[in-house]
């Protein structure tokens, strides 16, 4: 069922133009369908703020349960913002105090750009901790993406992320480890996920934290894990929400950083993503760019349009399936909770009634 456009957030119109069903508030109020209220703590930097909205809104809106989805974006004031992003947030986002007062059924926490080796040194560390503490006490389930997974592992379990020798960047094969878990029991047993990070939480760290592993890559490591109760917290270490061109855009930004001297070496290709023909086009562009830089000539245009149409998305269907399963479980548990006080009669260590 559809997302509900409960405010004027431009993301709703962008998704509608892309073909997704968006329900206006007035129409939604006349339908006798359950509502689910999902928070989106968007910590991404300004350049990715609205794209991240669309990516997660799309995944939620494409899930299958019979419900109307009200997605409530909010952020942390401690994150640095430019004027345009601050205006967007002030206009369309909700303050955390209002989120906490109204309550949520589920919460998604995005990644973020950081500048310190220890996440506890980041200015958002304490306010993020407050959101996490509140969510674990008051929300049916919280889904963490990439940096949010690293932060929660450190904040709640004392497991600090490990620096990688090189950036883990590309699209990697993952295998389902526990096919009986309802998050993954009806998705492909082998599927792709994009990754883009300089740090990782290792399999051993996940296990030391008492978490249950659901999907892992031989190259990229653990992608999907859940809390010991199998549902309260969902951990993504990759980026299944990425659009088809997200890695292309990221590669372009790294090339532009090289061109203006912000990085020393020319960026490598994201692994397992560009086809051979597209690599050849990009290699030729690299030669022209480096020649222009050496000779002080005008820089050639990045061949984004030549590349974008030939790329393949090999991860979205599985991402949609896993998020749909997550939303379906939230729907089932909140249906029980609405009949009684929060979690009364439900085993908090095993809300799904799984054989642990």
- Catalytic positions: 146, 239, 241
Output b/e per residue, 214-228; b: 16+ Cβ within 10 A: bbbbeebbbbbbbbe
CA 71-334-141 angle, 5° bins: 60
Q: 């947030």: which residue's tokens?
A: 89
CA 281-284-289 angle, 5° bins: 120
Cα 236 to Cα 119, 194, 334: the distances in Å are 18, 11, 22
Q: What is d(CA 35, CA 146) in angstroms, rounded to the nearest whole number?
A: 28
Find how far residue 332's CA is from the centre of its chain: 23
Q: What is d(CA 24, CA 26) in angstroms, rounded to the nearest whole number?
A: 6
Give kind and range of the element (H or E) at residue 175.
Answer: strand 162-176
| Strands of 3-5's sheet in order across | 22-24, 3-5, 68-74, 35-41, 106-109, 141-145, 233-236, 221-226, 212-217, 162-176, 190-200
Phi, psi of 132 (to 5 degrees): -60, -45
Taking the alpha carbons at both ends of the chain, their separation in whole angstroms is 32
Residues in the chain: 356
Beta-carbon contacts of residue 340 (< 8 Å; ≥ 6 apart) = none
Output b/e per residue, 157-175; b: 16+ Cβ within 10 A: bebbbeeeeebbbbbbebe
Closest-CA residue to 73 (of 110, 97, 41): 41
Q: How many CB atoms lie within 10 A of CB 82?
A: 12
């Amino acid at each position: 069922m559809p997302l509900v456009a409960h405010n004027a957030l431009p993301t709703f119109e962008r998704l509608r133009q892309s073909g997704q069903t968006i329900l206006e508030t007035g129409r939604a109020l006349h339908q006798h369908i359950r509502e689910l209220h999902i928070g989106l703590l968007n910590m991404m930097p300004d350049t990715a703020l609205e794209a991240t909205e669309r990516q997660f809104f799309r995944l939620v809106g494409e899930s299958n349960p019979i419900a109307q989805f009200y997605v409530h974006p909010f952020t942390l004031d401690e994150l640095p913002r430019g004027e345009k992003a601050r205006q967007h947030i002030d206009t369309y986002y909700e303050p955390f105090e209002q989120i906490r007062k109204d309550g949520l059924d589920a919460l998604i926490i995005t990644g973020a750009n950081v500048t310190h080796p220890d996440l506890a040194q980041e200015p958002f560390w304490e306010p993020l901790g407050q959101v996490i503490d509140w969510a674990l006490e008051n929300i049916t389930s919280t889904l963490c993406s990439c940096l949010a997974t690293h932060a929660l592992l450190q904040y709640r379990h004392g497991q600090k992320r490990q620096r990688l020798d090189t950036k883990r960047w590309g699209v990697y094969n993952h295998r389902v480890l526990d096919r009986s878990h309802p998050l993954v029991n009806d998705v492909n047993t082998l599927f792709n996920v994009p990754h883009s990070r300089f740090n990782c939480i290792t399999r051993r760290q996940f296990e030391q934290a008492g978490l249950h592993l659901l999907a892992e890559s031989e190259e990229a490591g653990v992608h999907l894990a859940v809390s010991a109760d199998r549902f309260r917290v969902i951990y993504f270490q990759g980026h299944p929400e990425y659009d088809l061109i997200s890695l292309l855009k990221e590669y372009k930004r790294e090339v532009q950083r090289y061109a203006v001297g912000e990085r020393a070496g020319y960026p490598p290709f994201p692994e397992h993503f560009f086809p051979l023909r597209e690599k050849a086009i990009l290699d030729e562009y690299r030669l022209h760019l480096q020649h222009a830089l050496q000779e002080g000539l005008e820089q050639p245009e990045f061949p984004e349009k030549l590349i974008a149409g030939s790329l393949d998305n090999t991860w979205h269907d599985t991402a949609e399936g896993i998020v749909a399963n997550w939303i379906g479980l939230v729907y089932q548990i909140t249906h029980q909770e609405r009949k009684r006080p929060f979690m009364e009669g439900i085993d908090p260590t095993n809300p799904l009634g799984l054989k642990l």
